[in-house]
Amino acid sequence: MGVNDQYCLYTLVDYFVRHEDFQLLYMNGKTDEVWLQKQKKQQSTVMRFIQKEFDWKNHLKNDIAKVFQRVTTLKHIFKGKNIEVYNVYINENEPVDEWETLKKPMLLKEKKHVRMKVFYLSKEHLAQEKTRLFEQFPAEEPSFKEIPSDKTKENAIKMYKRYFLTSLKQKTQDVQKTLSYGKPRMVYFFMMINILLFLGLEFIGDSTSRHSLIELGAISPPLLQEGEWWRLLTGMFLHIGWVHLFVNMLALYYLGIVAEKIYGSIRFSIIYILAGLGGGIASFALNNAVSAGASGALFGLFGGLLYFTLLHKRLVNAAFKTNLMLILFINLLLGFIIPNIDLSAHLGGLVFGFVSAVLTSLPNRRAYILQVSALVVYAVLFAGLVYYGQIVK
């Protein structure tokens, strides 16, 4: 493997990282393959560098096809409508047959269009291809210092590899820290409260009994109008029947663990409670029946996770987002289809949960203006539903 080719590759990578604001996406130090990305407005730019020899045009063509396939697989992490790929090959030898047609811009038409330009930095066309590469960027082509000694180049290559691998390792650790900020404690605490109160309902009477539910603190619009607003809190921990309890506790277990890991116990608890209160007040304003259950709080966790996915699209894989939206859609659909399900509490919890997530913000993230705005939005929505509920009833 040529020292000159390796040195050329890593100096180019270093330049684009330091001076063109590209971020490391992937690196294989053994095969000398590096992927960079930069996202701006409606376009993502991906640079792929590899030091590899291709004897024939078809070998090179097959590798280009693999790059297309890999980009389309990863397209969910790229923002914008278009993806521009600069595929840079570095090797002193070129394929022996006619291959230059592969340098023509290529377009893969999908939901996100993927455009690719191929560059081949060989010994014969090194300066020409470098110039063509840097023509894609507004800055002038930089001049790289020539280091005559192969030993010096080898040391520089080792330094570059160590630096980039350390950066990627730190980035991976930061991602893991973001996705595992807290430990699931409050999830089990809330589950325990729900189960104990349900057993209490069964002990004093019947969890499906309107009288028993009201006695233990379910949401009753007339009683709320009389000033018993504490029912908004107690009502979110009561359930009507075993099936209602089982379904909600199952959802709390799976959604809650993910949300508490991301937000931490304090923020998770705030989102859960505020969303539950929001779902309760929506039920009061738009529903006349006695209501109870953790559904508003649970939909609030949906809202919190949706907010997280908006802020960290690159950290969330396509499967997670698809599963989250699918579960949300199914639960909303059930609210329309199955009678006696309080859809107003579901929608209210979802909205108030999203707003509450903005209000608490994510760990190690400060956005005071946005947080204060979320507090105002929450207060206005809550007061508006209180007023509306009192007027229409």
Task: Catalytic residue, from 295, 344, 356, 361: name it.
Answer: 295
CA angle in degrees (0–180, nearest 5) for 65-42-164: 60
Q: For this structure, is 346 an active site residue?
A: yes
Q: For this structure, is 295 an active site residue?
A: yes
Neighbour tally for 9: CB within 10 Å: 23
Task: Catalytic residue, from 239, 346, 356, 361: name it.
Answer: 346
Residue 6 has phi, psi (to 5 degrees) of: -60, -45
- Residues known to be catalytic: 295, 346
